[in-house]
């Protein structure tokens, strides 16, 4: 007898497991208590405004996560110089030019952290990169609101499409 994999519709891959207004409002201790050990972060508009270096709030978040026992990794579609700028003061693992939503960056992040799909979670602000990429691998995904409303034109276009999806998520 062969087992068939249940087919999932496209909306499954575009729906976050959880939504939060901000990464800074997430109860990481509760997630650790549930068995999560690794956190993959998007940088721009999740942790800081687009292109900004790490600020005191983001530096403190990574200190707190290390104290709890989490391993962390930044996974960004951006270039090395951008990720280095943010990581200079955060000092964590990272993957640049990750090509999200492709799975390679997420797999590399889990290798660097020594975690698995089951005990890793991903946090980001975009459905078509962060959520889709994590869900393709079965990684728990938390979608945050973007920090800064000022965004590039191509991101604004994606946000319009994301809003249609989020209406379905919210049951509207």
pLDDT, tens only, 79-94: 999 999 999 999 999 9
- Both tokens assigned to 47: 């942790």
pLDDT, tens only, 126-142: 999 999 999 999 999 99
The Cα–Cα gap between 14 and 137 comes to 12
pLDDT, tens only, 25-82: 999 999 999 999 999 999 999 999 999 999 999 999 999 999 999 999 999 999 999 9
Cα 69 to Cα 27, 37, 44, 63, 77, distances in angstroms: 14, 7, 24, 10, 26
pLDDT at 161: 77
| Orientation of helix 80-90 relative to helix 56-68, angle to 10° | 70
- What rounded mean pLDDT belongs to the chain? 91
Q: How confident is the model at residue 162 (pLDDT cuts 50, 70, 90)?
A: confident
If 0-12 CB within 10 Å is exposed, 13-18 middle and 19+ buried, where does residue 128 land?
middle
């Amino acid at each position: 007898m062969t087992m068939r994999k249940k087919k999932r519709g496209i909306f499954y891959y575009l729906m976050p497991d959880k939504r939060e207004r901000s990464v800074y409002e997430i109860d990481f201790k509760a997630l650790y208590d549930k068995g999560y050990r690794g956190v993959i972060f998007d940088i721009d508009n999740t942790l800081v405004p687009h292109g900004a270096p790490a600020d005191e709030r983001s530096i403190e978040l990574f200190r707190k996560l290390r104290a709890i026992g989490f391993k962390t990794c930044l996974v960004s579609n951006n270039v090395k110089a951008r990720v280095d700028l943010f990581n200079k003061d955060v000092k964590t693992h990272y993957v640049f030019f990750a090509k999200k939503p492709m799975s390679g960056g997420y797999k590399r992040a889990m290798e660097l952290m020594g975690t698995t799909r089951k005990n890793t979670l991903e946090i980001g602000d975009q459905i078509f990169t962060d959520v889709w990429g994590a869900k393709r691998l079965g990684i728990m995904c938390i979608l945050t609101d973007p920090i800064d409303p000022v965004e590039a034109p191509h991101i604004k276009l994606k946000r319009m499409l994301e809003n249609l999806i989020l209406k379905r998520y919210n049951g509207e």
